[in-house]
Structure 1
Amino acid sequence: MATKINPGLAPVDGAYPGKTPTRFSWGAIFAGVVIAIAVQLVLGILGAGIGLTMVDPVEGTTPGAAGFGIGAGIFWLITTILALGAGGYAASRVAGVHERFDALVHGLVVWGVTLILTLYLLTTAVGGIIGGAFRTVGAVASAAGTTVGAAAPKAASIAGIDESDVRSEAAAYLSDAPNDPALMTPEQAQKEIARELPALAGGGADGQQAESRIVDIVAAQRKISRPEAQAQVTRAKQQFVQTKNETVATAKSVTDKAAGAAAGTSFIIVLALLIGAAAAGFGATAATRRRLR
């Protein structure tokens, strides 16, 4: 008996496998990020209120800067853990994932998007305000300078003063001290010595010339002999060098301490960010476990 073969098409379900369900949901990520930022803001405002209640300048019970900073850092870390944990939990629940790895990915993406969005808001908002303020000040200063430069000759013309007289008077204000130290006023002598000090500190031929000029000024102003003036300048130069060396040593020490503090702060921030990522991942996987039950 012959078997009849049906040449028709196979059923669709048998010919093609079913579509793999989506394992990632950006809508759930967005919901988690919104919840995380909202919780962070609410808890941040609450922390600011708690901190302000601790400030009591009348009774003198205001906490110190170090203790206040440590307390604020701990509170910020706690709020970050709670906010990212809530955001990861919400993202995992909304996405409806059944695998712990999928939930972990949702939680980490919530953490990453929240971090990037926070940095973006800080850099664009604060930087924009500060940059706009400086640009405004610069524009006002430039406009003021242009206005004064244009108005000065006109004002001189109205007052009946020749423009060349105005420029001559301005040059007199900016004129150098007399070359002869004996003809200098005390103010002119001080300005001349101050102008020679950078060359004196630099040393070399220019330094020797500057030192000789300062000795002449000191001798003329104090009415003493040149050797006595040289001795005074030498003592002042030694004191100046000692002060400069002490200043350089202090600056190096402060810079070293600042670098160490910055390195320590960087490590603390990285640790806090990793803790936030762990909180977001834990919240997401916790939602998955509850769903599996």
Structure 2
Amino acid sequence: MATNKTAGFAAADERLVGKTATRLSWGAIFAGVVIAIAVQVVLGILGAGIGLTMVDPVEGTTPGATGFGIGAGIYWLITTVLALGAGGYAAARVAGVHERFDALVHGLVVWGVTLIVTLYLLTSAVGGIIGGAFRTVGAVAGAAGTTVGAAVPQAAAIAGVDKGDVREQAAAYLSDTPNDPASMTPEQAQKEIAKELPALAAGGAEGQQAEARIVEIVAAQRKISRPEAQAQVTRAKRQFVQTKNEAVSTAKSATDQAAGAAAGTSFVLVVALLIGAAAAGFGATAVTRRRLR
């Protein structure tokens, strides 16, 4: 007995079984990032124009560096909030989300991508320019050094002069200071004392030799006895050590202040970034509240 088979239709629930819809729209996120960066750039240019109008060197009404920096920081924070809020709102609106969590995720992703793109642009552009400049200078200096280093031995070989003789002659040209302190001019004596100061500061056996040499020069130049010269050098050495200690103390204090300022700036920057994330999330979730109304 023959049976007839008719083509039927699947049940509604069977036809709907398949891949679930994607809840994250990267196209909408890209649109939000573009809008956020564009708004930030426009507001940044506007802020620069406002800041330049406040500079008046003729009248002397230019604001101080501290006040100007605080004002610029506050303006940057406001523009960041506005830009990320607009970007998050645009991303959630274009994505057509209906749940608040989905909108929040779109806003936070817009914030994260905007942050990454901004950091990349800053590091790649500025770092590339500076790095390229230093690489260019290094290449030129290296080429010049290679050229000179290759030319000197060849010139010496052509002239029939030994390279050791060339070095000795160059050293003779550079060290024209007489060894006898009595034969030195005041300029030569100052130069010789300055050359001995690093060894004097280092101390040890070399420091004692340097001190003896300085005492000898001072006695010969000022035409005083060696004990008197030793007393003058000792007083100068004591003042030198005191000045060095004060300089080290000042440097340590400045370093501590700089570290504290850097730490404070880091905390402020983190707070500003978190405020930016909150602005992006708020702008995105505003879409769901609008749809509910």
TM-score by length of 1: 0.88
Q: Distance in 2 between matches of 1:162 and 1:69?
A: 66
Alignment of 1:64-103 (within 5 A): 64-103=64-103
Quote the residue 1:203 is aligned against: 203
Asked if residue 59 in structure 1 is aligned to residue 90 in structure 2, the reply is: no
CA offset at residue 191 of structure 1?
2.3
Which consecutive unaligned segments of at least 5 residues does structure 1 have? 1-5
What amino acid does structure 1 have at the position aligned with 2:100?
Answer: R
**1:21 partner SS:** coil
Which aligned pairs between 1:135-150 and structure 2 lie closer than 5 A? 135-149=135-149
Which whole-Å CA distance do the structure 2 matches of 1:243 and 1:86 have between them?
A: 58
Distance in 1, Cα, partners of 2:138 & 2:61 = 43
Q: Which AA in structure 2 matches 1:17? A: V
Residue number in structure 2 paired with 1:3: none
Residues in 2 aligned to 1:56 and 1:166: alpha-carbon distance in whole angstroms: 61
Q: Does 1:126 align with 2:126?
A: yes
- Alpha-carbon offset, residue 189 of structure 1: 2.2
Contact 1:153 1:163 in 2 (8 A): no
Q: 1:180 to 1:99 in 2, by over 3 A?
A: same
Q: Give the Cα separation in 2 of the matches to 1:22 and 1:53.
A: 49
Cα deviation code 1:205-260 (max 9, x no counterpart): 22222211211111122111100000000000010011001101111111111111
How much does 1:108 deviate?
Answer: 0.4
Taking a change above 3 Å as real, the CA distance of residues 17 and 153 of structure 1, as seen in their structure-2 partners, is closer
Question: How far did 1:17 drift?
Answer: 3.2
Amino acid at match of 1:124: S
Shift of 1:61: 1.3
Deviation at 1:162, TM superposition (A): 7.6
1:180-215 CA-to-partner distances (Å, cap 9, x unmatched) read 322333333222222221221122222222211211
What whole-Å deviation, never above 9, does each CA across 1:25-49 have from its counterpart, x for those lacking one? 1111100000000000000000011
Farther off after superposition, 142-151 or 183-192? 142-151
Task: Tell me which amino acid in the other structure corresponds to 1:252.
Answer: K
Q: After superposition, what is the alpha-carbon deviation per residue over 1:134-164, rounded to whole angstroms, capped at 9, x for unaligned?
A: 1111222233344455566888999xx8856
Q: Contact (CA 8 Å) 1:54, 1:62: kept in 2 or not?
A: yes
Structure 2: unaligned runs, 5 residues or longer: none
CA separation of 1:12/1:184 partners in 2, compared to 1, >3 Å: closer, same or farther? farther
Which residue of structure 2 lines up, in the alignment, with residue 49 of structure 1?
49
What is the match of residue 233 of structure 2?
Answer: 233
Which region of structure 1 is more displaced relative to structure 2, 34-43 or 216-225?
216-225
If the length of structure 2 is used for normalisation, what is the TM-score?
Answer: 0.88
1:89-118: CA deviation from partner (whole Å, max 9, x where unpaired):
000001111110110010000000000100
1:11 is matched with: 10
Give the counterpart letter for 1:132 in structure 2: G
What's the counterpart of residue 266 of structure 2? 266
Tell me the distance in 1 between the aligned counterparts of 2:201 and 2:217: 17
Cα RMSD for the two superposed structures:
2.6
> What letter corresponds to residue 74 of structure 1 in structure 2?
I
Runs of 4+ in 1 over 6 A off after TM superposition: 152-158
Instruction: Give the conservation status (yes or no) of the 8 Å contact 1:87–1:280.
Output: yes
- Deviating more after overlay: 192-201 vs 109-118: 192-201
**Paired letter, 2:200:** L
Range 283-292 or range 28-37, more displaced? 283-292
Matches of 2:154 and 2:9, distance apart in 1: 98
After TM superposition, give the deviation of residue 169 of structure 1 in Å: 4.8
1:133-212 equivalences under 5 Å are: 133-149=133-149, 169-175=169-175, 177-212=177-212
Q: CA deviation at 1:14?
A: 3.5
Q: Quick one: distance in 1 between partners of 2:127 and 2:173?
A: 41
CA separation of 1:18 and 1:145: change in aligned 2, threshold 3 A = closer
Corresponding pairs, count? 286
The separation in 2 between residues aligned to 1:121 and 1:151, in whole angstroms, is 44
In 1, Cα distance between equivalents of 2:168 and 2:214: 29
